[in-house]
Amino acid sequence: MIVIGGGVIGLAVAWRLAQRGAGVVVLERDEPGRGASHVAAGMLAPVSEADPREEPLLRLGIASAQAYPGFAAAVQEASGLDPGYLRCGTLIAARDRDEAEALERELEIRTRFGLGVRRLRPTEARRLEPALSPTLRAALEVADDHAVDPRKLTAALLVALRHLGVEVRAGTEVVELALGRRQTRRAVRLRDGRRLEGDAVVVAAGVWSAELPGLPPEARVPLRPVKGQIMRLRDPAGPRLMTRALRLPGAYLVPRGDGRYVLGATVEERGFDTTITAGAMFELLRDAVELVPGIGELVIEEVLAGLRPGTPDNAPVIGAGAVAGLHWATGHYRHGILLAPITAELTAMAVLDGTSSPLGEPFSPGRFEGRAPLRAAVRSGAR
Amino acid sequence: MIVIGGGVIGLAVAWRLAQRGAGVVVLERDEPGRGASHVAAGMLAPVSEADPREEPLLRLGIASAQAYPGFAAAVQEASGLDPGYLRCGTLIAARDRDEAEALERELEIRTRFGLGVRRLRPTEARRLEPALSPTLRAALEVADDHAVDPRKLTAALLVALRHLGVEVRAGTEVVELALGRRQTRRAVRLRDGRRLEGDAVVVAAGVWSAELPGLPPEARVPLRPVKGQIMRLRDPAGPRLMTRALRLPGAYLVPRGDGRYVLGATVEERGFDTTITAGAMFELLRDAVELVPGIGELVIEEVLAGLRPGTPDNAPVIGAGAVAGLHWATGHYRHGILLAPITAELTAMAVLDGTSSPLGEPFSPGRFEGRAPLRAAVRSGAR
Contact yes or no for B277 and A263 at CB 8 A: no
- The one-letter code for the residue type at A274 is T
Mean pLDDT of A78-100: 96
- How many CB contacts within 8 angstroms connect chain A with chain B? 73
Residue range B265-274, pLDDT digits in tens: 999 999 999 9
Return the pLDDT at A246. 97
Q: Is residue A125 part of a domain?
A: yes
Q: Evaluate if residue B376 carries a pLDDT over 70.
A: no
Find the chain A residues whose C-beta atoms sit closer than 8 A to any C-beta of B: 231, 233, 236, 263, 275-282, 285-286, 289, 295-300, 303
Contacts of B286 in chain A (CB under 8 A): 282, 286
Return the pLDDT at B380. 33
Return the pLDDT at B378. 37
Contacts of A231 in chain B (CB under 8 A): 278
pLDDT band at B321 (very low <50, low <70, confident <90, very high): confident
- Is A184 found in the same domain as A69? yes
Contacts of A292 in chain B (CB under 8 A): none
Residue range B76-94, pLDDT digits in tens: 999 999 999 999 999 999 9
**Torsion from C-alpha of B131, B137, B142, B148, nearest 10 degrees:** -50
Mean pLDDT of A6-11: 98
Return the pLDDT at B230. 98
Contacts of B302 in chain A (CB under 8 A): none
Could you give the number of structural domains in chain A?
A: 2
pLDDT band at A105 (very low <50, low <70, confident <90, very high): confident
pLDDT band at A381 (very low <50, low <70, confident <90, very high): very low
- Is B229 found in the same domain as B361? no
Q: Is residue B361 part of a domain?
A: yes
Q: Is residue B168 part of a domain?
A: yes
Q: Is residue B379 part of a domain?
A: no
- Is A322 found in the same domain as A300? no
Q: Is residue B23 part of a domain?
A: yes
Q: Evaluate if residue B258 carries a pLDDT over 90.
A: yes
Mean pLDDT over each residue of chain B, to the nearest integer: 92
C-alpha A304/C-alpha B121 separation (Å) is 40
Whether residue B316 contacts residue B339, with contact meaning beta carbons closer than 8 Å, is answered with yes
Return the pLDDT at B369. 74
E-state strands within A249-316:
251-255, 260-264, 299-310
Q: Evaluate if residue B185 carries a pLDDT over 80.
A: yes
Mutation to test the A interface, candidates B285, B290, B304, most A Cβ within 10 Å: B285
Query: What's the CATH number where B351 sits?
Result: 3.50.50.60
Nearest Cβ partner of A299 from B276, B289, B300?
Answer: B276
Nearest CA to CA, how far is A257 from chain B (Å)? 19
Q: Evaluate if residue A274 carries a pLDDT over 70.
A: yes
Mutation to test the B interface, candidates A230, A241, A272, A275, most B Cβ within 10 Å: A275
Dihedral class, residue B343 (left if φ above 0, else alpha if ψ from -120 to 50, else beta): alpha
pLDDT: which is higher, B276 or B112: B276
pLDDT band at A383 (very low <50, low <70, confident <90, very high): very low
- Is B128 found in the same domain as B7? no
Query: Please, how many CA atoms are within 13 Å of residue B105, restricted to the half-sphere of its CB?
Result: 13
- Is B156 found in the same domain as B76? yes
| C-alpha B38 chain-centroid distance | 10
Contact yes or no for A278 and B299 at CB 8 A: yes
Mean pLDDT of B29-54: 87
Residue range A207-230, pLDDT digits in tens: 999 889 988 888 889 999 999 999
Find the chain B residues whose C-beta atoms sit closer than 8 A to any C-beta of A: 231, 233, 236, 263, 275-282, 285-286, 289, 295-300, 303
Query: Which residues on neighbouring strands pair with residue A294, listed in sequence order?
Result: none
Return the pLDDT at B51. 64
Mutation to test the B interface, candidates A281, A299, A303, most B Cβ within 10 Å: A281
C-alpha B162/C-alpha B114 separation (Å) is 38
- Is A156 found in the same domain as A213? yes
Q: Is residue B62 part of a domain?
A: yes
- Is A171 found in the same domain as A41? yes
Return the pLDDT at A379. 34
- Is A107 found in the same domain as A21? no
Helix axes B8-19, B150-163, angle to 10 degrees: 30
Return the pLDDT at A285. 96
pLDDT band at B46 (very low <50, low <70, confident <90, very high): confident
Question: With a cut of 0.90, is the ipTM above it?
Answer: no
Query: What's the CATH number where B119 sits?
Result: 3.30.9.10
φ, ψ for residue A51, nearest 5 deg: -75, 120
A17-21, A296-300, A319-323, B283-287: the lowest-pLDDT one: A319-323
pLDDT band at B105 (very low <50, low <70, confident <90, very high): confident
φ, ψ for residue B117, nearest 5 deg: -155, 145
- Is B177 found in the same domain as B237? no
Contact yes or no for A286 and B281 at CB 8 A: no
Residues sharing a CB contact under 8 Å with residue A66, sequence separation 6 or more, in sequence order? none
Which of A243, A287, A58 is closest to A141 using CA atoms?
A243
Q: Which residue of A has its CA nearest to B296?
A: A279
Three-state SS at B139: strand
Residue range B337-371, pLDDT digits in tens: 999 999 999 999 999 999 999 999 999 999 987 66
pLDDT band at B220 (very low <50, low <70, confident <90, very high): confident
Q: Is residue A193 part of a domain?
A: yes
- Is B76 found in the same domain as B137? no
Q: Is residue B208 part of a domain?
A: yes
What residue numbers bound the domain in which B320 lies? Answer: 2-80+150-222+312-367
Whether residue A126 contacts residue A132, with contact meaning beta carbons closer than 8 Å, is answered with yes
Nearest Cβ partner of A282 from B279, B296, B303?
Answer: B296
Return the pLDDT at A380. 33
Contact yes or no for B278 and A286 at CB 8 A: no
Nearest Cβ partner of B285 from A231, A233, A278?
Answer: A278
Three-state SS at A184: coil
Residue range B192-214, pLDDT digits in tens: 999 999 999 999 999 999 889 98
C-alpha B198/C-alpha B327 separation (Å) is 12
φ, ψ for residue B372, nearest 5 deg: -65, 145
Return the pLDDT at A277. 98
Nearest CA to CA, how far is A283 from chain B (Å)? 9
Return the pLDDT at B49. 60
Residues making up chain A, counted from first to last: 383
- Is B213 found in the same domain as B186? yes
- Is A175 found in the same domain as A44? yes
E strand or H helix at A71, and its extent? helix A55-79
Return the pLDDT at A185. 84
pLDDT: which is higher, B217 or A191: A191
Contacts of A236 in chain B (CB under 8 A): 275
